[in-house]
Amino acid sequence: MAYASPRADLPEQLIERAKQSGAEAAEVFFTQSSARPMFYEANRLKQLESTQAEGIALRLWKNGQPGLAVAYGAVEPQTLVDRAIALSDLNEAEQIELTAQTPNTYPDLGEAVSVEQLMEWGQEAIARIREAYPDCLCTAEWESEAETTRLLNSKGLDSGYTDTTLSCYVTAEWVRGDDFLSVSDGQTQRSTLNPLQVADQIIQRLQWAEDNAAPPRGRVPILFTSKAADMLWNTAQAALNGKRVLEGASPWSDRVGDLVTSSRLTLSQHPNEGPFSCPFDDEGTPTKPITYIQSGELQLFYTDRTVGRTLGSGTTGNGFRPNLGSYPTPGLFNFIIEPGDLSFEDMIASLDDGLIVDQMLGGGAGISGDFSVNVDLGYRVQGGKILGRVKDTMISGNVYTALKHLIELGSDAEWNGSCYTPSVLVNGLSVTSRQ
């Protein structure tokens, strides 16, 4: 699905023009993407699209002062160089951080599928849900996307690859009088998707929600599904960010070697696993497997080149751009939470009284770990059985407290974005309700 730029030599031209214009160093970050999304609405295929995009970012240093300029689509090389130099005049001089490496083209990742295959998957998933719940209205998006990344700099680096991913997101809406229920699930994979698995997960949640139940109150064990557990890991990722350590914001800043979570937890990254794997970061540093927390003990923080130099640890290969017009900053990818041994069903059976949280409304916890969120989709558990869906319920507490009071990790790990997480059973959080 990758397509060739009409100006395939533009990155080399930009490097050369930057040198000719007096820059001591220059870097070009180039992306192309093409996608074929299809949209379902009210159980029917509504729209097919084909999109293409291209962007390029030039970062240079003149007199040690950095300048960054971005263009989308066609651009004259000298125009972009002039913009970057004009911006560099406004910035303070800094140490130049560039990766020196011989040219290296990495293998492409993933395989595209046909529009017909995407359409078949979409119809399969919706038919499965409506067979079980005919009154449901389903919306969905299915997509095959290829993105080509190329990174060059004036120190000889030239790395690139094409990454093809498949994704889907399905929502079933069920209206029963004044009771409105929305259940969503999805997948991101390479080479194939499993529409029936997505549909069955939605059907299971609809079955659990057929009856309403009174929510528990006070401090009870809470079972986060793999989809909902992401809130916990967002805070953990922020605390592991080397930039947060420099700012003094991470509560783990001086805790390397200490037990910071339950000893059941091992958190790592694996660059060669899953649909979000990548061979190098946005600074050209090859990525590598890293364990950040081993059996609850903090091992290290993730960094880009600048933060790694300041901390004295060096880069971990985690310098990523939030968008094309941003400088690299520490970022995580392929974050792996090592699963446990119990199935999700066994974890439910272990609860005398508790709450399952599957979907939440509102913002999660920040770096402080404190949060209070509405439960969009949750279920009451008593005597090891699900009684029904809870409504008008909130959970609150602190993520770091929950991670220290972790009871169990499930064996049901799934990719939730770029995080591979199982379901998580924790103590130490509070449940409140208007009922």
Average pLDDT per 10 consecutive residues for the chain, totaling 435 residues:
56 96 97 95 94 95 97 92 96 92 82 94 97 96 96 94 96 91 95 96 96 93 95 95 96 96 97 90 95 98 95 94 95 95 96 96 86 95 96 95 96 93 95 84
pLDDT of residue 7: 62
Q: Which of 277, 33, 38 is nearest to 145 (CA)?
A: 33
CATH of 10-196, one of 3.40.1350.10, 3.30.2290.10, 1.20.1280.50, 2.40.30.20: 3.30.2290.10
* Distance from C-alpha of 102 to C-alpha of 117, rounded to nearest angstrom: 40
Q: What's the one-letter identity of residue 190?
A: R
How confident is the model over 32-63, as pLDDT tens digits? 999 999 999 999 999 999 999 999 999 999 99
Sign of CA dihedral 396, 402, 405, 410: positive
Q: Is 217 helix (H, G, I), strand (E, B) or coil?
A: coil
Give the list of residues 6+ apart from residue 119 with CB closer than 8 angstroms, or none.
38, 45, 142
Q: Under a CB-based contact definition with an 8 Å cutoff, are residues 395 and 222 in contact? A: yes
pLDDT of residue 3: 37
Give the containing element (helix H, strand E) for 135: none
284's tokens: 């050209």
Outline where DSSP puts E strands in 190-287: 218-219, 222-224, 267-269
pLDDT of residue 1: 36
pLDDT of residue 417: 85
Per the rule left: phi > 0, alpha: psi between -120 and 50, beta: everything else, 428 is left
Q: Under a CB-based contact definition with an 8 Å cutoff, are residues 185 and 227 in contact? A: yes
59's tokens: 């970062």
Residue 315: CB atoms within 10 Å: 23
pTM above 0.85, yes or no: yes
pLDDT of residue 105: 77
* Distance from C-alpha of 237 to C-alpha of 337, rounded to nearest angstrom: 11
Residues of the chain with CATH 3.30.2290.10: 10-196
pLDDT of residue 2: 39
341's tokens: 């041994």
